Structure 1
Amino acid sequence: MMCALPQDGSRFLCMKIYRETDEDYDVALSRMDRRAVPDRNVRETVEKIIADVEARGDEALVDYAERFDHVHLTPDTLRVTDEELQEARAAVSDEVKAAIEASLHNIAYFSKNSMRQDWSGVNAQGCEVGERFVPYRRVGIYVPAGKAPLVSSALMTGGFALAVGVPEIVAVSPCGPDGKMNPALLYALQEAGATEIYKVGGAQAVAALALGTETIKPVEKIFGPGNRFVVEAKRQLVGAVSIDLLPGPSEVMVLADETANPAFVAADLLAQAEHGPDSVIVMVTTSSSLLEKVEEEIEKQAATLNRGAYICEVLDEHAFGFLVPTLKDGAKLANAFAPEHLVLVVNEEDEEETLAGIHTAGAIYVGNYSTVACGDFLAGPSHTLPTGGSGKSFSGIRADQFQRRTSIVRMDKAAAERSVPFVKVFAEVEGLDAHGRSLELRAES
């Protein structure tokens, strides 16, 4: 049955629950082991869009804006103007500005501590070796704006680029049918260091950032979440441009035992369902009692929410609960699912061991008082995280992804002499005598 709010006071169930005794338990578990494989139809659609943008440039962007966003633009109106930016700044309340400032402050703190630093040393043959890390010169950030203006996504991408010192930050995001962008989003992009902002969304925006058009110059790397078409465009354009990861529709997994506060867990599940039917919500627990109490809390809290009935419909279709024998089984399920967000609430004796056993989560929120919402908006780490199982191969956005790495080798004559015997062997084995000779000449000089 659909999980709409009942009018007669009766109970409803918002999650499909799987227990070890159920016949379909093993099948349900196997479905949780995910790989981020693109849908064939999405792949073919995106291939056509990329080819079209490459061939027609701005003209294609204008046509897609008309088709998908129902807005009439021209090449001259693709870019947000200084006047529009000033209007947005004036329209945003002081409360919103303060929240954006607080988030950027924490992003800067987190970035400062996670950036990679230059280093150098001397190897066994006396060569000075090291690494140098410099910011990318020009990056693109994609900010979704379909159901709501994702102000936080602007901060959780552009804010990191700003903290690292990227000089050119190019933002793309779809506008409304009136040709305008949300003032709070525009203000956030300005504060996050955006040097150019374009009213372009979808796979076509990714193609424009990667390949360039008459108006949009190509970037070196693309960051940010998006729908499945945006994610597929990023995947297809690797090579023409670098990408951060493959962040798609949002998802959460809760791994908890009897020590979890059912009201807090229910609130996290409801918050995730608020993202809509693309969300995936999973609860894993060793406590049957907790499952029942969470269901009761969902019913109670949903009745107080403006979109409670809609949220419960999302939970009914996209929420799954697993009753597992042990926390180790729960951690194993978490690693197979590779959740974007993992809320971990277990007793203190098991917390560190369980945490150490989880390898594929994008972000982990530990303890009853840690919430995904704070991570999404304020805490400091980026909320742009791998989804759809891609957490098995990718990690979330971090400061060092905005840095380009270069290795450094510096040798004197003594280092060359000590290196000759080994280089000569490799050159002989691989049949590359010119390689060996290039070092021997230096050693003999």
Structure 2
Amino acid sequence: MSKIIHLKKAEMESIERVLRRAQTDISKIEQDVRKIIEDVKTKGDIAIIEFYKKMLNIEIDVKIHEDEFEKARERVSREFIEALEFGSDNIREFHRMQKPKPWMYEMRRGIYVGQIVRPIESVGVYIPGGKAAYPSTALMTVIPAMEAGVKRIVATTPPDNDGSINPHVLTALDFLGVKEAYRVGGAHAVAAMAFGTESVPKVNKIFGPGGIWFTAAKMLVRDSVDIDFIAGPSEILILADETADPKYIALDLISQLEHDVSTSAVLVTTSEAIAEKVDRIMSELIEKVERAEIVKKAYGEYGAIVVASDLDEAVAFANEYAPEHLEIHVSPEKIIDVLSKVNNAGSIFIGKYAPVPLGDYVLGPNHVLPTGGWAKARGGLSILDYLKIIDVAYVEPSVLPELGKHLKVLAGFEGLVNHYKAVEARIDNPENRS
């Protein structure tokens, strides 16, 4: 069945279906998640231990111990360690470049203003587990924290059915030097990091993607602890002209579709020929790729091939979609113009040799990105999310009369006269007169 939609001809309902994609709806589980949060808040470790006894019939120790890290290292290949080293070097360098510098200058005579940069003191990172393990998420959430100078980094990750932790996740955490790691997942992990338990320390901010129960809990604890942002199912939008390679496009769409049945994968192109070729290749490949059932279901529900009349219309559609990942496959002379018009994307990959999977693992930019249209409001996870930018001001007494004059007018209008009185006392102090 063809997935091609023409923007000029399509009914609004078809376009809205593509834009809508999979939504993060916590309404059906909200009450259950609230109970979990309250249970962990009240009972601490016991709530976590009882949950895994009931759900998996296993006895767990919430804390992950040093001997588990040692055994994990013995179970992973040298190639895996080398891949961690290569990827982490790039991720570290990229996030180091993001770090802002403190500054101070004399804005007006006698008025000095600036900013200082301080790390958040403690953060919690979540490494998803369950159907698959994601050591790459350890790299993406821990390395920016380290580069920011965060003093305490706490990691949580769910156990397997036998209570063990995936050795590749443990090795990644060990490689990064994270020793405060805990065996807990989903909503229980969020509650533990938000409020603390006998084992898991309370943190100032929680980071990382996860499933619907984890995401719901993040939404519900925001009054008690800061979070990075809400990340839902993966998304890719590829913007292409007639020079694009249709097979590369199809493979890149499939590379993201294999994540989950709720993944969205969209091509918007100015070329009818490219649209038809990609449509045909997808039909051929989708039956024989790895994880075919997941790919087929996701593409059937949230995949589309959109034909635009020109690049401006294609870019406008991409901006409205605001994808987590945006690939730009256009001729070299058009790249700068197209890029200059893109406003909304979590991360952008330019040219046919920079597919999203490289960014998922080894390029350097972060793979924790806004989804569901939130790229209209923010970019991906960065070192800035682990830092506090604090404003600083110093005033010489000689400029107080001028400042006070204007403050008196504005504060008086708002009825906050004591604001001015605090300054007036300093103006009237003989010691402050030059």
1:55 corresponds in structure 2 to 42
Q: Which amino acid aligns with 1:163?
A: E
Rounded to whole Å, the distance in 1 between the matches of 2:383 and 2:293 is: 39
- Select between 327-336 and 292-301 the one with higher mean Cα deviation: 292-301
Rounded to whole Å, the distance in 2 between the matches of 1:426 and 1:21 is: 52
CA RMSD of aligned residues (A): 2.1
1:122 corresponds in structure 2 to 106
Q: CA deviation at 1:37?
A: 6.4
Matched, 1:43 2:30: yes
Q: 2:59 aligns with which of 67, 70, 73?
A: 73
Q: CA deviation at 1:310?
A: 4.9
Q: TM-score normalized by structure 2?
A: 0.92
Q: 2:240 aligns with which of 241, 253, 256?
A: 256
2:432 corresponds in structure 1 to none
| Deviations 1:358-391, CA, capped at 9 Å, x for gaps | 2221011111111100000011111000112222
Contact 1:245–1:394, Cα closer than 8 Å, also in 2: no
Q: Residue 159 of structure 2 aligns to a residue in which SS? A: coil
Q: 1:27 aligns with which of 13, 17, 21?
A: 13
Q: CA deviation at 1:394?
A: 2.9
Matched, 1:383 2:364: no
2:342 corresponds in structure 1 to 358
Contact 1:159–1:193, Cα closer than 8 Å, also in 2: no
| Deviations 1:169-214, CA, capped at 9 Å, x for gaps | 1111111011111111111112234231111111221111111122
Contact 2:18–2:303, Cα closer than 8 Å, also in 1: no
Q: Residue 40 of structure 1 aligns to a residue in which SS? A: coil
Q: Which amino acid aligns with 2:5?
A: Y
How many residues in Structure 1 have an aligned counterpart in Structure 2?
Answer: 428
- Select between 424-433 and 396-405 the one with higher mean Cα deviation: 424-433
Matched, 1:99 2:86: no
Q: Which amino acid aligns with 1:170?
A: V
| Deviations 1:18-48, CA, capped at 9 Å, x for gaps | 22465x5321112344496644213333223
Q: TM-score normalized by structure 1?
A: 0.90
Rounded to whole Å, the distance in 2 between the matches of 1:358 and 1:21 is: 21
Rounded to whole Å, the distance in 2 between the matches of 1:71 and 1:399 is: 40
Contact 2:24–2:232, Cα closer than 8 Å, also in 1: no
Q: Which amino acid aligns with 2:48?
A: L
1:18 corresponds in structure 2 to 5
Rounded to whole Å, the distance in 1 between the matches of 2:237 and 2:50 is: 39
CA 1:87–1:235: 2 relative to 1, 3 Å: same
1:429 corresponds in structure 2 to 413
Q: Which amino acid aligns with 2:35?
A: K
Rounded to whole Å, the distance in 1 between the matches of 2:352 and 2:182 is: 41
What is the correspondence of 1:253-402 to structure 2 with a 5 Å cutoff? 253-299=237-283, 301-302=285-286, 305-308=289-292, 310-402=294-386
Matched, 1:221 2:205: yes
Q: Residue 139 of structure 2 aligns to a residue in which SS? A: helix
| Deviations 1:244-287, CA, capped at 9 Å, x for gaps | 11112211111111111111111111111211212111111121
Which 5+ residue runs of structure 2 have no aligned equivalent?
430-434
Q: CA deviation at 1:71?
A: 5.2
Rounded to whole Å, the distance in 1 between the matches of 2:252 and 2:189 is: 32
Q: CA deviation at 1:433?
A: 2.8
Contact 2:7–2:15, Cα closer than 8 Å, also in 1: no
Rounded to whole Å, the distance in 2 between the matches of 1:138 and 1:276 is: 31
Matched, 1:190 2:174: yes
Rounded to whole Å, the distance in 2 between the matches of 1:115 and 1:21 is: 44
1:9 corresponds in structure 2 to none
1:441 corresponds in structure 2 to 425
- Select between 297-306 and 401-410 the one with higher mean Cα deviation: 297-306
What is the correspondence of 1:104-183 to structure 2 with a 5 Å cutoff? 104-124=88-108, 126-183=110-167
| Deviations 1:304-345, CA, capped at 9 Å, x for gaps | 644346533442333212112122222222222221111111
Q: Residue 437 of structure 1 aligns to a residue in which SS? A: helix
Rounded to whole Å, the distance in 1 between the matches of 2:109 and 2:54 is: 63
Q: CA deviation at 1:120?
A: 0.8
Contact 1:338–1:390, Cα closer than 8 Å, also in 2: yes
Q: Residue 379 of structure 1 aligns to a residue in which SS? A: coil
